[in-house]
Amino acid sequence: MKALKIQNVEKTFGSIKVLKGIDLEIEPGQFLILVGPSGCGKSTLLNMIAGLESVSNGNITIGDRDVTHLDPKDRDIAMVFQSYALYPNMTVKQNISFGLEINKTPKDELEATVAKVAKMLQIEPLLNRKPKQLSGGQRQRVAMGRALARDPSIYLFDEPLSNLDAKLRVEMRSEIKELHQRVGTTIVYVTHDQIEAMTLGDVIAVMKDGEIQQFGSPQDIYDNPKNQFVAGFMGSPSMNFVPCDVKQGMNGLVLVLESGGASHELPVENGIEGLSEYVGKKVVLGIRPEQLTQVSEDKPDTMTIPCLIEIIEPTGPDTMVTARLNGVRTVCRVHPTAQSKVGELMPLQFDMSKAVFFDPDTEQRIY
């Protein structure tokens, strides 16, 4: 049995198709992330799972029940909203217990649940306050408490952290992760923040324009993006995309790289057979900043190319230096002690073992 199964789900508003056939399945207890740029249809999909938005086409199954046409109250779900959506005229306690009260939970059980949830989220001192008298972080906790009290089969989160400041966001992120590990209930979590997606998710669905671009584990999506959009969306700073000519070299294929006024030939790791069809044509080399580093002796399967440094941005543990390769700005992650000066040539080491290649026209990965 799957916890949630979405089959060929579509959504049209008027004449606009906002979701174009979504398919996905998750196991019980999994933490699913829906991630994608603004307007790609994440909230719409989540609202359809919740039953707040009608389904134009397709099926949604929760557990072994087809819920496609059920009311939200019959779906056994709980939801946390981006704006928290607390009931303004009720106290924190009433907010948390409202759902239980409607389900005619016995009074003592209701009290016990509220107490348990309040303890778990450390909001006991706030129980008699109104939402107006709470800070953003406290409201966020109450919103989660309201969902937790319900004990549903799936939790739905719509960007719950995006209204918090940076520090609180990081704290709440780990609290949500810890909560999931403790409670073990299936979660569907919408975000447009790829760091939240990577850190929280068991599985990630990367969406764009109403379609799922890739569905997989965070590491798989990071290491093996299916196309240039996914590669660029996941990871921060994002992957560099350098258009290069492919040539037949002496020991296999090479990419031609123009850097610091000179032309270099970068050998391609073997094993990417699709690349041989591109000899004499252009491909897009996708290489993450951490694969472009200062020269260190202990990495034999690499190639060193001198690059002209244009920008230097220290972040603390690493320094991001921007060089220009084939006319494209390329971010490299170097050790702070190794950084050189703007306008100087710096030898950079290319680790091609994890480099990926894309077709410049279709933007699809070349395998």
Partner 1 sequence: MNVSSSSRQSLGTLLPKIVVAPTFVVTLVFIYGFMLWNAWLSFSSSRMLPKYDWAGFIQYEKLFANDRWWVAAQNLLVFGGLFIVICLLVGLFLAIFLDQKIRAEGAIRTIYLYPMALSFIVTGTVWKWILNPELGIQRMVREMGFESFSFDWLVNADMAIYTVVLAGVWQSSGFVMALCLAGLRGVDENVVKAARVDGASMPLIYRRIIIPGLGPVFFSALIVLTHIAIKSFDLIVALTGGGPGYATDVPATFMYTYSFTRGQIGLGSAASMMMLMAVVAIIVPYLYSELRERKQ
Ligand X SMILES: Nc1ncnc2c1ncn2[C@@H]1O[C@H](COP(=O)(O)OP(=O)(O)OP(=O)(O)O)[C@@H](O)[C@H]1O
Alpha helices of 152-234 — where are they, by DSSP H? 166-183, 194-200, 218-223, 228-233
Give the C-alpha separation, 305 to 324, whole Å. Answer: 12
Binds ligand X (CB under 6 A): choice among 3, 4, 9, 18: 18
Closest CA to 190 of 38, 16, 85, 87: 38
Beta bridge partners, 357, equal 285, 366
50 binds partner 1 (CB under 8 A): yes
> Residue length, the chain?
367
CA nearest to 358, candidates 367, 349, 347 = 367
Residue with smallest beta-carbon separation from ligand X: 43
Q: Least distance (Å) from ligand X to the CB of residue 261?
A: 43
The answer to the question of residue 79 lying near partner 1 (CB under 8 A) is yes
Smallest gap, in angstroms, from Cβ of residue 89 to Mg ion?
26
Q: Does 240 bind ligand X (CB under 6 A)?
A: no
Residue from 8, 12, 103, 296 touching partner 1 (CB under 8 A): that is: 103
**Minimum separation from the CB atom of position 329 to partner 1 (A):** 41
Contact (Cβ atoms closer than 8 angstroms) between residue 137 and residue 164: yes
Q: With respect to ligand X, which residue has the nearer C-beta, 38 or 337?
A: 38
Angle between helices 107-120 and 92-102 (to 10 degrees): 130
d(CA 127, CA 230): 43
Residue from 43, 95, 213, 259 touching Mg ion (CB under 5 A): that is: 43
**Amino acid identity for residue 346 in this structure:** M
Q: Which of 38, 251, 263, 337 binds ligand X (CB under 6 A)?
A: 38
Q: For the CB of residue 207, give the shortest distance to ligand X in the complex, in Å.
A: 7
Residue 52 corresponds to which amino acid?
L
Our finding on whether 78 is near partner 1 (CB under 8 A) is: yes
* Among the residue ranges 47-55, 115-123, 182-190, 232-240, the one whose residues contact partner 1 (CB under 8 A): 47-55
Amino acid at 173: R
End-to-end CA distance of the chain: 34
How deeply is 99 buried, as exposed, middle or buried, from its count of CB atoms within 10 A (0-12, 13-18, 19+)? middle
Stretch that binds Mg ion, among 6-14, 37-45, 105-113, 317-325 (CB under 5 A): 37-45
The one-letter code for the residue type at 43 is S
User: Quick check: 213 binds Mg ion (CB under 5 A)?
Assistant: no
Torsion of CA 1, 58, 40, 363, to 10 degrees: 90
Q: Which does 73 bind (CB under 5 to 8 A by kind): partner 1, Mg ion, ligand X, none?
A: partner 1
| Candidate list 8, 39, 247, 262; residue touching ligand X; CB under 6 A | 39
For ligand X, the binding residues in 165-224 under the rule CB under 6 A are 192
Q: Tell me the three state secondary structure of residue 177.
A: helix
Binding site for partner 1 (CB under 8 A): 47, 50-52, 71-73, 77-79, 81-83, 85-90, 98-99, 102-103, 146, 150
Binding site for ligand X (CB under 6 A): 13, 18, 36, 38-44, 192
Binding site for Mg ion (CB under 5 A): 43
